[in-house]
Amino acid sequence: MTRFVVDSWAWLEYLEGSILGEKVRESIADEKNEIFTHVLSLVEIMSKVRRKEKDTNAAWRAIVTNSRIFTISEVDSKEVGLLHAEIRAKQPSFGLADAFVLSAARKLGGKVLTGDPDFAHIEDAAMLS
């Protein structure tokens, strides 16, 4: 079984129905995969969907129906802050939300499912292309 934490980038492609979104759909549909979404990604997606004036309820339902939501604790916050600082020192564009997603994937023994170029050199990422 492969565990994936689907990041905002991948979910937005999925919701748009793009070619890369179809690859996300295939990963989600594969019963050999266990799918997670970080709660911060869900927040980010809701904001982006709303700003595009799309159906936020449909987007939310698609995500919570097809994945388990990973939440954070105060211990996670400390670890993520340190991880973010470490990666950001080498890669200035690496976002804080990305650090939360990467940390979740590592805790779960999985991979980040993404096409976000900020993850291109991250070993724990399954890059869509």
pLDDT of residue 123: 95
pTM of the complete model: 0.95
pLDDT of residue 1: 86
Tens place of pLDDT for every residue, the chain, 129 residues?
Answer: 899 999 999 999 999 999 999 999 999 999 999 999 999 999 999 999 999 999 999 999 999 999 999 999 888 899 999 999 999 999 999 999 999 999 999 999 999 999 999 999 999 999 998
Domain ranges (residues) in the chain: 2-116
Q: Report the run of H or E that residue 113 belongs to, with start and end.
A: strand 111-114
Using DSSP, how many helices (H) and how many strands (E) does the chain show? 6, 5
CATH of domain 2-116: 3.40.50.1010
Q: What distance in Å separates the CA atoms of residue 108 and residue 54, rounded to the nearest whole number? A: 31
Beta carbons within 8 Å of 15's beta carbon, 6+ residues apart = 21, 45, 49, 54, 59, 62
φ, ψ (nearest 5 deg) of residue 96: -65, -45
Best CA proximity match to 4, nearest among 30, 20, 47: 30
